[in-house]
Amino acid sequence: MKELTMNATVENITQVTAFVDEQLEALGCPVKAQVQIDIAIDELFGNIAHYAYHPEVGVATVRVEVVQEPLSVVITFIDHGIPYDPLAKKEPDTGLSAEKREIGGLGIFMVKKSMDEISYEYKDGKNILRIKKKL
């Protein structure tokens, strides 16, 4: 397990992505899975940066774990911000045109569709969001 803790700012998304990509490349992760994970990082860490501590800046931890049988990666995002379960949000109606669709929710919808598992819990004053992708 590897872990990175840093300020939850949009500017740090690139550093978080590079940290996770380093672990994925060491595993021989397929490019398609890595791109899907990178998009998820952008969405999830970006949400923490924008909303968890607003208007202040707080820290977030990103943890990367490898699971065998089947080979998978679990990425956990942990922050001490405002309790928020992004999985509880109603899924967007993708049948509507962009003009008629409500704002928000499309990013987490894409993460749900591209990951094999996603879970959220609020425990001990922390938001804990996990994504799992089979490699």
The domain limits of the chain are: 2-134
How much is the pLDDT for 33?
97
Tell me the CA end-to-end span of the chain in Å, nearest whole number. Answer: 16
Ordered per-residue pLDDT tens for the chain, 135 residues: 999 999 999 999 999 999 999 999 999 999 999 999 999 999 999 999 999 998 999 999 999 999 998 999 999 999 999 999 998 876 655 555 555 545 555 678 889 999 999 999 999 999 999 999 999
Q: DSSP letter at 18?
A: H
How much is the pLDDT for 101?
47
pTM of the model: 0.90
The DSSP element (H or E) to which 120 belongs, if any, is strand 117-123
Which one, of 104, 55, 51, 59, lies nearest residue 77 by Cα?
59
> Side chain identity at 75, as an amino acid letter?
I
**Domain 2-134 superfamily per CATH:** Histidine kinase-like ATPase, C-terminal domain (3.30.565.10)
